Amino acid sequence: MEDQLGSSIAVRLLPAPSWCAGASCNASAAIDFDGRSLCLDHFLPACIHELELRNARLRNLPFDAAATEEFKAFVTNCAQQAEKLAEKLVEKSADKLNEDARLRRAQAKTSLLDFLLRISQLTQQIRRSPRVTSSIAVWLRREDPHQTWHEETWTVSTSRHGAALLCRRPVEKGGTVVLCRKDKGSRATAQVVYSRRDSEGRKQIGIQFCDPINFWDLD
Question: Could you say whether residue 42 binds Zn ion (CB under 5 A)?
Answer: yes
Measuring CA to CA, which residue among 204, 180, 175, 209 is closest to residue 192?
Answer: 175
Spell out a b/e string for 18-56, using b for 16 or more CB atoms within 10 Å of the CB, else e: eebebeeeeeebbbbbeeebbbbbbbbebbbebbeebbe
- 80-109 residues near Zn ion, rule: CB under 5 A: none
Q: At what angle do helices 65-91 and 99-125 cross, to 10 degrees?
A: 160
Question: Could you say whether residue 27 binds Zn ion (CB under 5 A)?
Answer: yes
Question: Could you say whether residue 206 binds Zn ion (CB under 5 A)?
Answer: no
> Considering the complex, what minimum distance in angstroms separates the CB of residue 29 from Zn ion?
7
φ, ψ of residue 28 to 5 degrees: the values are: -85, 145
Q: Which of the ranges 35-43, 50-58, 66-74, 130-138 carries the binding residues for Zn ion, by CB under 5 A?
A: 35-43
Q: Which of the ranges 32-40, 119-127, 161-169, 207-215 carries the binding residues for Zn ion, by CB under 5 A?
A: 32-40
- CA 56 to CA 159: how far, in whole Å? 15
Question: Could you say whether residue 30 binds Zn ion (CB under 5 A)?
Answer: no
Give the number of other CB atoms < 10 A from CB of residue 78.
24
> Considering the complex, what minimum distance in angstroms separates the CB of residue 41 from Zn ion?
5
CA angle 110, 117, 77 (to 5 degrees): 100
Size of the site for Zn ion (CB under 5 A): 6
Q: Which of the ranges 27-35, 63-71, 189-197, 202-210 carries the binding residues for Zn ion, by CB under 5 A?
A: 27-35
Q: Which of the ranges 15-23, 59-67, 86-94, 167-175 carries the binding residues for Zn ion, by CB under 5 A?
A: 15-23
Residue 21 or 86 with smaller CB distance to Zn ion:
21
| Helix, coil or strand: residue 94 | helix
Question: Could you say whether residue 39 binds Zn ion (CB under 5 A)?
Answer: yes
- CA 44 to CA 62: how far, in whole Å? 29
Out of 9, 25, 86, 166, the only residue in the binding site for Zn ion (CB under 5 A) is: 25
Question: Could you say whether residue 46 binds Zn ion (CB under 5 A)?
Answer: no
Which residues bind to Zn ion, rule: CB under 5 A?
A: 20, 22, 25, 27, 39, 42
